[in-house]
Amino acid sequence: MAQIIRPYGDTMDDGKVQLSFTLPVPHGSRAMEAARRIVLAWGFHDCEVVHAAPMSDEFTFFVVYAATRHGIDWDTVEGDRDDSEKSMTMDEINTFIREKIGRKVVVVGACTGFDAHTVGIDAIMNMKGYNHHYGLERYEMIEAHNLGAQVPNEKLIEYAEAHNADAILVSQVVTQKDSHVHTLTEFIELLEAKGERGRFICIAGGPRISHKLAAKIGFDAGFGRGTYAEDVATFIVRKMVQEGRR
């Protein structure tokens, strides 16, 4: 039995959504009508333009409420990862490593290429962590090396080789012109050229990185917005044990 879901405003299945957007037209009643028409053209009904403001002579900003009849079957939806698989806590991860791996796990991470943003890799790796989730440096059984930003892919790989890393974290924040895809692809290609892809667990991360995207490029996993250190660590240690890496 299909379970069709639709947006919920204040009544089940009313299909209500809020939209805001800009049109390259001067502000006025024609602009309001254009906004209404364009929302109808997207397949919405009961469209109400509740706010329109000029942003310059040529651009107008709108807030619009509308409703949709379209729904999808909840039973056919698959997520980016298995939601029932819960991450372990820091303490559980340390115990897991002690019992099942028996030595410190070495994790090397950097934001590579021209990307200058350390915020992602820092959130996962720095002692302090992010939003009350400690970073990998805090983990007693993890040896974490955070190389910072603007690290060339080659350098990160060399560093991982020299320190016998178990896992490499590659962070990408900037996504303009798909620069993240280029950088991540180059990373995997470099590893493959060296015949070392299998040597490391490779993880990509960043606000616009999904598991699907990362897997497509050739990473073992990808972690996006809302990820904390324990999510990444759980993945690494479970995979190590699964694959018999010691």
Partner 1 sequence: MIRNKLNLPQDKIEKARELAVRICAPVLEFIEAHTTVTVERAALRLMGADGASPDGVPVPNLVVDSLRDRLGQGAALWYANALMTKGWDISELNRQIAQGFNVASIPLADRNRAEELASELVRRQLARIDANRAYREAKQEEYKGHNHSPLLYLIVATGNIYEDVKQAQAAALRGADVIAVIRTTAQSLLDYVPYGATTEGFGGTYATQENFRIMRQALDEVMERERRYIYQTNYASGLCMPEIAAMGALERLDMMLNDSMYGILFRDINMYRTFVDQRFSRMINAYSGIIINTGEDNYLTTSDAFEKAYTVLASQFLNERFAYAAGLKPWQMGLGHAFEMDPSIKNSILYELAQAQMAREIFPEHPLKYMPPTKHMSGDIFQGLVMDNMFNFVSKATGQGIHLLGMLTEAIHTPFMMDRHIAVETALYVMNGIDAIMDEIEFRPDGLIVRRAQEVLDRTVKFLEEVERIGLMESIEKAMFADIARPRTGGKGMDGLVEKAPDYCNPAEKALESALGLKGRK
Provide the binding-site residues for partner 1, judged by CB under 8 A.
20-22, 53, 55-57, 59, 61, 114-116, 118-119, 122, 126, 128, 131-132, 148, 150, 174, 176-177, 179, 207, 225
Least spacing, CB of residue 159 vs partner 1, in Å:
14
Return the beta strands (E) in the chain as ranges.
4-5, 16-23, 45-54, 60-67, 72-73, 105-111, 142-146, 167-171, 201-205, 221-223
What's the gap between Cα 33 and its chain centre? 37
Contacts of residue 176, Cβ cutoff 8 Å, sequence gap at least 6: none
Q: Is 104 a catalytic residue?
A: no
Which among 232, 207, 239 has a CA at the least distance from the CA of 133? 232
Minimum distance from CB of 197 to partner 1 (Å)?
A: 27
Catalytic residue among 86, 128, 194, 216: 128
Q: How many residues does the chain have?
A: 246
Whether the CB-CB separation of 32 and 54 falls below 8 Å is answered with no
Q: Which residue, 20 or 164, is less far from partner 1 as judged by CB?
A: 20
Q: Which residue, 94 or 118, has its beta carbon nearer to partner 1?
A: 118
**Least distance in angstroms from the C-beta of 100 to partner 1:** 32
Is the Cβ of residue 95 or residue 134 nearer to partner 1 in the bound state? 134
Q: Which of 37/208 has CB closer to partner 1?
A: 208
Beta-carbon contacts of 156 under 8 Å, excluding residues fewer than 6 positions away, are 108, 110, 112, 147, 168, 170, 187
Q: What six digits make up the tokens of 71?
A: 């729904």
**Shortest gap between Cβ of 206 and partner 1 (angstroms)?**
11
Q: How far is CA 104 from the centre of its chain?
A: 27
Nearer to partner 1, 128 or 194 (CB): 128
State the nearest-atom distance from the C-beta of 40 to partner 1, in Å. 21
The token duo for 37 is 């028409």
Three-state secondary-structure class, residue 54: strand
Catalytic residue numbers read 128
